[in-house]
Amino acid sequence: MCKVVLFCIVRYSLAMDLQNNISVLFLGDVIGKPGRRVIKQYLAGHAPKADLIIANAENAAHGFGTTESNLQELRDAGVQAFTGGNHTFDRKEIFEFIDQQQNVIRPANYPAGTPGSGSCIVEIADGIKVGLINVLGRVFMEPLESPFLVAEKLIEQLSAETKIIIVDMHAEATAEKIALGLYLDGRVSAVVGTHTHVQTADERILPNGTAFLTDAGCCGPANGVIGMDQAAVFRRMVKQLPSRFEVAEGPAMVNGVVFDIDKTTGKASAIRRVQFKEILDEAENQATTDSSKLSKIV
């Protein structure tokens, strides 16, 4: 009898824990049409259930910048909020819509007066509010304001409305991303890195309850060089000749991370990386195999 009672108590406790958590799916840098395409397939029936889906969309328009139609396509697929990075302003049309787009943010440490916002509050089911912050690293990047100090100011503002805050640190250097994660540990729910397009395997819950991953990876071509066509990259890297980078052809992959966050405390209770490879039919597979043979040094 005691064993039965104990089992019931444990199962009830686990159920209560699940009810008190929200699940957030964060998708790494979306690269062009292949990235948008594979996200639609993933979210249509292969992704874990999530209360909030966020994607970094700074490369959604053929690898550089984003457009209003790109964002709408991803929204229709199920993405609810978008972050940016150093390519946010690559397409001039963004200046026409970034201030009107809901839940679309760019790095907060750009100078005062830059169009768009560096943070937002996303309201999900049951009126739960989630704060979202985007900052750009400075190591090997642009000489902007300190992402540490800017993030700190925004956390203070957002904390007045919610304890659940997620930070996208768009940065080149792993050390800078790790430093920000540790610096903000206990003050935000999660810190996730973007920009390098390669998913890291260091997901963990930091000592004070912040989930951390150095880089979420990218959603884009699986066989490109961080999403770009091999031939153009080889031309530049091997022959040291100028070349225009184009988004690679072939099957695409989703890379991202899921956070489970306590609704009351804002602390992370779990973190897990996700990967998904696009499912192609036989004809498409043959076509992509043939086209890959064209990626020679030119």
User: Is residue 296 very low, low, confident or very high in pLDDT (cuts 50, 70, 90)?
Assistant: very low
- The pLDDT of residue 15 is 45
258 strand-pairing partners: 25, 272
Per-residue confidence (pLDDT) for residue 248, from 0 to 100: 83
Query: Average pLDDT for residues 176-181, to the nearest whole number?
Result: 98
Q: Which residues are catalytic?
A: 87
| Residue 218 CB burial class (10 angstroms; 0-12, 13-18, ≥19) | buried
pLDDT tens-digit map of 8-22: 434 434 444 567 999
- DSSP annotation of 80 reads -
- Would you state the pLDDT for residue 266? 98
pLDDT at 46 over 80: yes
Q: Has residue 286 got a pLDDT over 80?
A: no
Q: What is the pLDDT of residue 279?
A: 86
Q: Over the stretch 195-251, which tens digit does the pLDDT of each residue have? A: 999 999 999 999 999 999 999 999 999 988 888 888 888 988 898 888 788 888 889
Question: What was the pLDDT predicted at 18?
Answer: 60
How does pLDDT run across 52-77, given as a tens digit for each residue? 999 999 999 987 989 999 999 999 99
Q: Which of 133, 140, 150, 208 is nearest to 172 (CA)?
A: 140
In CATH, what number does 22-226+252-278 get? 3.60.21.10
Residues making up the chain, counted from first to last:
298
Mean pLDDT on 243-267 = 93
pLDDT digits (tens, 9 = 90+) for 75-133: 999 999 999 999 999 999 999 999 999 999 999 999 999 999 999 999 999 999 999 99
Residues facing residue 247 across a β-bridge: 228
- CA 268 to chain centroid, in Å, comes to 17
Q: Is 245 left (phi over 0), alpha (psi -120 to 50) or beta?
A: beta
More confident of the two residues 96 and 5: 96
pLDDT mean over 241-262: 91
| 133-172 pLDDT tens trace | 999 999 999 899 999 999 999 999 999 999 999 999 999 9
Q: What does the alpha-carbon distance between residue 279 and residue 34 come to, in Å, rounded to a whole number?
A: 12
pLDDT score for 221: 94
